[in-house]
Amino acid sequence: MNPEKLTFTSFSGAEYSFDLSGVLEGAEVFIESKGHRDGSGILDGYKEFLAKAYCTSVQIARHRQDHFWFVTNVPFGSSLGGRLWSSEFIADSLRNSKSPKAATIIGAAPIDEDHVRSLSQRIAVGIFTDSFIKVMGITYRVQPGDTLWSITKLIHGGRVPTTRFEPIAVKVRLMNNGQDPNKIRSGQRLHLPWFGIRDDGKS
């Protein structure tokens, strides 16, 4: 991940950034990830994300056809449903957002309806609850110098689960077709268990 690649300058001159980027079928994907205990405040964060996506795709020609994904762990905007990524909702959010951060990103820039319609086809919302991730696990691409121990700490926010480490290694072996988790290599994709983070800060 290159932090400079994820940081942009808004219409007003203020900097903003996305959390992650990747590639999907030749197009770049910019991802905003928001973790919350409940759904309050996520809609404002989503509107800020829409402002970032619009600004990036309008100002930088090479990002005009790229994708923008908003990922969170709790449901939000339930009364809106699929309208969350409709061109009407996006245009209204860009014009009338009460979020100071979103307003700063848009500034006094005009909103191009044709561009909003195009952008709405490349916006995606993903809601992955903690229970869903615990069942499905996490896919991770091994980086140089990684060990199973360091990866486990990383995906649990620096806190290793209270379960003994050996059962984790056994589970990783089962999830990766019997492959020895102690013999991982850079570039390899691992399917890993995730145990969640408890409210008291312990895994």
- Residue 74 exposed, middle or buried by CB count within 10 Å (0-12, 13-18, 19+): middle
Number of domains in the chain: 2
| Contact yes or no for 70/126 (Cβ under 8 A) | yes
DSSP of 25-60: TTEEEEEEEE--SSSTTHHHHHHHHHHHHHHHHHH-
The mean-pLDDT minimum among 50-64, 78-92, 104-118 falls in 78-92
Bridge-based pairing state of the strands 20-24 and 27-34: antiparallel
Last residue within a domain, chosen from 101, 128, 155? 128
| Contact yes or no for 68/49 (Cβ under 8 A) | yes
Q: Is residue 199 part of a domain?
A: no
Model confidence at 185: pLDDT above 70? yes
Model confidence at 159: pLDDT above 70? yes
Which token pair is 19? 């959390």
How confident is the model at residue 38, as a pLDDT?
67
Q: Is residue 203 part of a domain?
A: no
Element (H, E) at 171: helix 165-175
Model confidence at 31: pLDDT above 70? yes
How confident is the model at residue 120, as a pLDDT?
97
How confident is the model at residue 3, as a pLDDT?
45
This prediction has a pTM of 0.69
% of the chain at pLDDT higher than 90: 35
- Residues 166, 78, single domain; the answer is no
> 21: closest CA among 72, 52, 64, 67?
67
